[in-house]
Structure 1
Amino acid sequence: MSKPLLELQDLVVKVNRQTNEELRILDDLNLTINQGDFITVLGSNGAGKSTLFNAIAGDLALSSGQIKLHGNDVTHDSVEKRTRFLGRVFQDPKLGTAPRMTVAENLLLAERRGQRRGLRPRHLKQQHQRYQELTAAMGNGLEQRLDTPTGNLSGGQRQALSFLMATIRRPELLLLDEHTAALDPQTSQSLMTLTEQRVSQAQLTCLMITHHLEDALTYGNRLIVLHQGRITFDVTGAAKQALTKEQLYQFFATID
C-alpha cells in the first residue's frame, strides 16, 4: 500500500478578509497525496485549482490549515525551502526559465535548485554531452540549441525546457499547472506523451491541472474535481479507467 507523501488538512485561503466581500478560495480542503500518484485536476474557472498549487508551493499563505510532507509540518516553510522537494511547470512558457541564460545554463541552474549558493566553478562544458542526451529525448531539436539564450526558443521548446528543469532532480512532488495549454495541438500532444513517459519512468508523484477532459481521463491513476474550493469528486484505479467524458460532463452539470 502506498504511503502518504503530502497531506493537506483543512486548507483555507481567504481574500478580502474581514470585509463584507470576504471569500474563501479554498474552503476546508482535504487531500492525501500518496507516493506514486499521478492526479489529474479538473474544475471550472475560480474553483481554486491554481490557488491549491500556490498553497502547496508556498507562494500563497494559508488562512488556516496544515500541510504535511512525510508527516512533518511544512505549512510555514518558505518557497525556497520547498523547492528541495517540489518541481513546477506553469502554463506560460515564459515562466520557469531565465530568458538571457542559455539552455545549458538553465539546466545547470535547475540542478542546483535548493542548494546553498556560493562562488564556485560552473563546470558547464563537462555537462554538455549529458545535457545533449537529456534534451534529445524531447524530440524537438532542443539538443541543437544548448548554447542559445532561452528567450530565443520557440514556445514549445521553452516549455519542454521548463519541464526538464522541473524534473531534472527528480522532485518528490511535481506540479503541472496547465503546462500544455499555451501550445499548439501537435506540440501539446508531444509534451503530454513525454510527460507520461517521464512521470512513469522516474516514478514521480504528480498533480496536473487540465481543462481537457480527454487528458484528465487518459493520463494518471487518479482524478479529482474542485468546486468552490473543495474537492467534490475523487476517483482512482479501475473506477477512473471506467469513467467516460459524458459522465464527467454530467457531473459538472450537476454542480454548476
Structure 2
Amino acid sequence: MTNQPILELKHVSTYVNKNTPDQIKILNDINLSVYAGDFITLLGSNGAGKSTLFNVIAGNLAVDEGQVLLKGKDITHLSEEKRTKYISRVFQDPKLGTAPRMTVAENLLLAEKRGQRRGLRLRGLNKQADKFEKLTSTMPNGLNQRLKTPTGNLSGGQRQALSFLMATIKRPDIILLDEHTAALDPKTSQELMEATQQRITEDKLTALMITHHLEDALNYGNRLISLQNGSVTNDLRGAERDAITMDNLFTVFEG
C-alpha cells in the first residue's frame, strides 16, 4: 500500500432537518483515510451512521460540511452517476443491482460497459461467453451454469453473487459492501464471504464492508472500524486488529 490514500473524508458532517429546531447531526466530523488494498469492516449499532457513510461516499447523499477526495481529487460535489465509474456498491437486497429480465451474461456485459458511451452497436455477447463462464465459476453456487438464465429466476445467493461480480468486474477504485450477505442463509452467506475475500485479495481491490455478523468482522479484512453516534470510535489495524477476539470485542469497542 502507498502512503497516499485512495479515498479521504475530511471533517465530513451531514444533517437532517438542517437549520431547524429539529436539526440532527447524522455524521459528526468524520475523518477517514482508505488506502489501496484496504479491506475495512465497519461495525456499529442501528443508527450509528454506517449506511449514511456509504451514501456519502457513493454520492447519493450530499455532504453538509467537509470534503470527499478520491486519489487526491475533490469529488464532494460529483454526482452519484459520475461516481459509478470509480465506486461500486453491493446492497443487502439481492434484487438490487441486477436487471431481472436480462440473463446472467447480459447483466455481466452491462456491468462491463459501466462508464462507457453506449451507441447503437452489436453487443458481442457470444465473444464474452468463455470469459463470463470462467468468471462465474469463481462463485461456489453453480452460477456458471446459469449464464443464459434470466436473473429474476436465480436463487437469492446466486443473484447476490452476480451482483458482487458485476460490482467488481471493472476493478473499481472503491467497493462498498452494504451488508451484502445479510439476507442469505448461513451456509450461502459464508460461501459468498469466502469468495469475496478471495477476489478482493487476488485482484488487490479496495473495499469497505458493513456487517452485523461479528464473526465476519473478525475473520475478514485488514482493518476494523466502529461507528457510534456518527463518529469513528475505533480504527484498528495491524497488531491491534489481530488482537481482537470474540471474548474482548465488546470490551474494546465499548471502552
Do both share a fold (TM > 0.5)?
A: yes
Following the alignment from structure 1 to structure 2, what is the Cα–Cα distance between the partners of residues 235 and 214? 16
Q: Which amino acid aligns with 1:60?
A: L
Is the alpha carbon distance of 1:69 and 1:253 closer, same or farther for their aligned partners in structure 2, counting shifts above 3 Å? Answer: closer
Q: Secondary structure at the match of 1:87?
A: strand
Question: In the TM superposition, what is the alpha-carbon distance from 1:123 to its structure 2 partner?
Answer: 0.5
Aligned to 1:206: 207
Aligned to 1:85: 86
Question: In the TM superposition, what is the alpha-carbon distance from 1:144 to its structure 2 partner?
Answer: 1.2
Following the alignment from structure 1 to structure 2, what is the Cα–Cα distance between the partners of residues 218 and 142? 25
Contact 1:58/1:78 (<8 A) preserved: yes
Question: In the TM superposition, what is the alpha-carbon distance from 1:246 to its structure 2 partner?
Answer: 2.5
Following the alignment from structure 1 to structure 2, what is the Cα–Cα distance between the partners of residues 113 and 164? 13
Aligned to 1:107: 108
Q: Secondary structure at the match of 2:9?
A: strand
Contact 1:58/1:77 (<8 A) preserved: yes
Q: Secondary structure at the match of 1:225?
A: strand
Aligned to 1:148: 149
Question: In the TM superposition, what is the alpha-carbon distance from 1:18 to its structure 2 partner?
Answer: 2.0
Aligned to 2:99: 98
Moved over 6 A (4+): none
Following the alignment from structure 2 to structure 1, what is the Cα–Cα distance between the partners of residues 249 and 14? 27
User: Could you list the runs of 5+ residues in structure 1 that have no partner in the other structure?
Assistant: none
Q: Which amino acid aligns with 2:195?
A: L
Aligned to 1:240: 241
Question: In the TM superposition, what is the alpha-carbon distance from 1:194 to its structure 2 partner?
Answer: 0.3
Give aligned-pair identity as a percent: 64
Following the alignment from structure 1 to structure 2, what is the Cα–Cα distance between the partners of residues 8 and 56? 8
Aligned to 2:121: 120
Q: Secondary structure at the match of 1:176?
A: strand
Q: Secondary structure at the match of 1:246?
A: coil
Contact 1:80/1:114 (<8 A) preserved: no
What TM-score, normalized to structure 1?
Answer: 0.96
Q: Which amino acid aligns with 2:8?
A: E
Q: Which stretch shifts more, 213-222 or 39-48? A: 213-222
Aligned to 2:229: 228
Following the alignment from structure 1 to structure 2, what is the Cα–Cα distance between the partners of residues 251 and 23? 27
Aligned to 1:16: 17
Contact 2:234/2:253 (<8 A) preserved: no
Contact 1:9/1:66 (<8 A) preserved: yes
Contact 1:199/1:205 (<8 A) preserved: yes
Q: Which stretch shifts more, 243-252 or 198-207? A: 243-252
Following the alignment from structure 1 to structure 2, what is the Cα–Cα distance between the partners of residues 177 and 8? 18
Contact 1:42/1:216 (<8 A) preserved: yes
Q: Which amino acid aligns with 2:31?
A: N
Q: Which amino acid aligns with 1:237?
A: G
Question: In the TM superposition, what is the alpha-carbon distance from 1:129 to its structure 2 partner?
Answer: 1.5
Does structure 1 residue 5 correspond to structure 2 residue 6? yes
Question: In the TM superposition, what is the alpha-carbon distance from 1:252 to its structure 2 partner?
Answer: 4.4
Question: In the TM superposition, what is the alpha-carbon distance from 1:51 to its structure 2 partner?
Answer: 0.5
Q: Which amino acid aligns with 1:68?
A: L
Number of equivalent positions: 254
Following the alignment from structure 1 to structure 2, what is the Cα–Cα distance between the partners of residues 80 and 113? 10
Following the alignment from structure 1 to structure 2, what is the Cα–Cα distance between the partners of residues 80 and 59? 9
**Over the residues paired in the alignment, what is the CA RMSD in angstroms?**
1.1
Following the alignment from structure 2 to structure 1, what is the Cα–Cα distance between the partners of residues 14 and 119? 36
Question: In the TM superposition, what is the alpha-carbon distance from 1:44 to its structure 2 partner?
Answer: 0.4
Q: Secondary structure at the match of 1:109?
A: helix
CA deviations on 1:103-162 (whole Å, 9 max, x unpaired) are 011000000111122211101111111111111110211111111111110000000000
